[in-house]
Each structure stands twice: as structure tokens, then as C-alpha cells.
Amino acid sequence: NHNKEDKEVAMQEICNLLKKEVSYYDWVGFYFKNGDKRELKLGPYAGEPTDHTIIPFGKGICGQVAESNQNFVVPDVQAQDNYIACSLTVKSEIVVPLFKNGENIGQIDIDSNTPDPFSQEDERFLEFVNQEVAKII
Ligand code: SME
């Protein structure tokens, strides 16, 4: 069993590691469903602080993934109309839902300052990361 602090530390280390090791991962964070509310709450992250600590379901890329239960790869954020800008330097984004016992309880969100950097390899890799996180939370 893992207490809340251990879980937060583990997820923080994952964020730090991913941001450090993958050159085009410029902001890496976890969002989780906020209790019974139809909104996401920011968890551990690495990168610049964001104003968007709460995101309603349906809003932005993250809010859309909370409802679709599917990966969302955005090669060019400027081409999205339902997008929440966190930083003007961000060019692209990938959001992969995190399932625990088959339920979409959150997601990993990665912003990149590089245009169109994300491949199916990133999707498979981040699905694996989320599966590992699901085991410890
Ligand atoms: N861009 C996201 C908001 C979260 S920030 O990237 C940290 C979105 O559109 O949902």
C-alpha cells in the first residue's frame, strides 16, 4: 500500500524524469478527476507553473480526453479551437488517459515547444507509463 505522499513523490519523479530525458517534452503533468466533480485537478508536474489547475470536463484538450477516454495528439495547438493555452511557446500537445480498474481517472499531459513531435511511439510509451502509475495510486 502507498500513502498519499509517496504517490505524489513517485508521480513527481516521473514528471521530472520524462521532462529531462525526452528533449521535446517541455511540460509534463498529471491531471486527475476532482472527487465527484466533472472537472480535472492538476497533480504533480514538471515545467512552468500553469494557471490552469482546474479544468472542467469538455474544456481544452485535457477536458475533451476526460470525456472521450482516448488519446489526443495535437500536432499544432493553433489549429485547435477547443484549446486552453498555458504558455505562448507551446506548439503541440499529447494527452493520454489514465485508467484504473477500467475507469478513466485522470491523464498525463505533455506540452512541446516543437511542432508535430509526437508519434505512435509516444502514445504507446505514455500508455505504459500510465499503466505503471495506475498500479501505485
Ligand atoms: N493545453 C491544455 C491545458 C493544460 S496546459 O497545457 C498545462 C488543454 O488545452 O487542455
| Residue 33: C-alpha distances to residues 8, 43, 57, 71, 124 (Å) | 15, 10, 9, 16, 22
Taking the CA of residue 62 as reference, the ligand 1 atom at the shortest distance is 10
- What is the ipTM metric for this complex? 0.95
CATH superfamily of 4-136: GAF domain (3.30.450.40)
Q: Is ligand 1 within 6 A of the CB of residue 84?
A: yes
CA of 11 to the centre of ligand 1 (A): 18
* pLDDT tens string 59-93: 999 999 999 999 999 999 999 999 999 899 999 99
Mutate to test the pocket of ligand 1, among 86, 94, 110 (most ligand atoms within 8 A of CB): 86
% of the chain residues with pLDDT over 70: 99
User: Locate cell 493553433: which residue?
Assistant: 78
Q: Is ligand 1 within 6 A of the CB of residue 93?
A: yes
Model confidence at 2, in pLDDT bands (50, 70, 90)?
confident
CA of 53 to the centre of ligand 1 (A): 10
pTM: 0.97
Q: Identify the bridge partners of residue 33 per DSSP, sorted by sequence position.
A: 40
CB 41 within 8 A of CB 31: yes
CA of 1 to the centre of ligand 1 (A): 31
Residue 13 has pLDDT above 70, yes or no: yes
What integer pLDDT is reported at residue 1 of this predicted model?
60
